[in-house]
Amino acid sequence: MTIWAFLSIGAGGALGALARYGVGVAVSRRSSLAYPPSTFFINIAGAFLLGLSAAHAAHSPGSAWVEKYVFQIGFLGAFTTFSTFTLEAFRMIEDGEWFRCGLYVGGSAVIGLLACALGYYAL
C-alpha cells in the first residue's frame, strides 16, 4: 500500500468521523425513540451508502480505487459505528432490557441488510 492510500484513508476517515458526530447530534436531538436512534440511523445509512458505493465501483472500474480507500474504508469506516452499536446493546442486556436489545439488534441487522441491498441495486 502506498503513502497515497494511507493519506486517502486518513482524509476519508477524518470526514467520516466529523459526519458521524454531526449526524449523531442531529438525530439524537430530533428523536424520542426508545433505542439509541443516532447509532441505528448511522448504521443503516452507512449500510445503504456502502451498498451504493460497491455497486458504483463494480460498474465504474476507474473509480474503484477512490471508492475503496477514500469512501469505503476511510469515510464509511469512521462514519459507521458497529463498535458503539455492540456496546449499547451490551448495556441494554446489563440493564435487563432484553426486549429493547432484541429490537435494536434485530432491527439493525434486518434493516441494515435491506438498506445495503437497496443501495447496491439503486444504480
Burial of residue 62 (CB within 10 Å: 0-12, 13-18, 19+) is exposed
Residue labelled with grid coordinates 477524518: 14
Q: State yes or no: 46 annotated in a binding site.
A: no
Q: Find the radius of gyration of the CA atoms of the chain.
A: 16
Q: State yes or no: 12 annotated in a binding site.
A: no
Residue 97 has φ and ψ, to the nearest 5°, of -95, 65
- Our measurement of the distance from residue 43's CA atom to the centroid of its chain's CA atoms, rounded to an integer in Å, reads 4
End-to-end CA separation in angstroms for the chain: 30
Binding-site sequence positions: 77, 80
Binding residues for Na(+): 77, 80
